[in-house]
Amino acid sequence: MDKKDYIALLKDHGIRPTANRILVVEAMDRAVRPLSLAEVEDRLLSLDKSTIYRCLMLFKDTHLVHAIEDGSDSVRYELCHSHSEHDDDDLHVHFHCERCNRTFCLYDTPIPKVELPDGFVLFSVNYMVKGICDECQGNLRREKQKGAQR
């Protein structure tokens, strides 16, 4: 995407496209996985933490980003590909690697439909699978092989 696409995306979600908001949405778009606030800060050294946080909260409120709780007292954010500022049609499963602490999107694994009792209202779903990612699993195998060779 280019700057015009980011401006259109912000407008589609009812967000006034300021220079800072464009920078934050661009950083989120270029990320290959969900990012923590600290990771967004590292990518946007020209913006302060509170500016980035305000942008992320606005994006969350308008369904432009998902806020993912990974169970490690950290929230990660990812650009939502929903086409509405009111509803999320982009829900999917996430995988959190307990070795490298990265969180991955499993786009081809939809969140199962949850049937709630009468009177209950669903606002969001956070479906997190935890384990060890393929890269860390390969590193573990190599470490074991090196240990066995000694």
pTM (whole model) above 0.85: no
How far apart CA 104 and CA 93 sit, in angstroms, is 9
How far apart CA 61 and CA 81 sit, in angstroms, is 14
The CA–CA distances, whole Å, from 24 to 83, 102, 123, 126, 145 equal 19, 20, 25, 23, 43
pLDDT tens, 42-95? 999 999 999 999 999 999 988 888 888 876 777 889 888 655 445 555 677 889
pLDDT tens, 9-52? 999 889 999 999 999 999 999 998 889 999 999 999 999 999 99
Report, at the CATH architecture level, how domain 3-149 is classified.
Answer: Orthogonal Bundle (1.10)
> What mean pLDDT, rounded, does the chain reach?
86
**Could you tell me if 24 and 59 are in contact, meaning their C-beta atoms sit under 8 angstroms apart?**
yes
Tell me which DSSP letter residue 62 carries.
Answer: T
Residues ≥6 apart with Cβ < 8 Å to 17: 6, 7, 10, 11
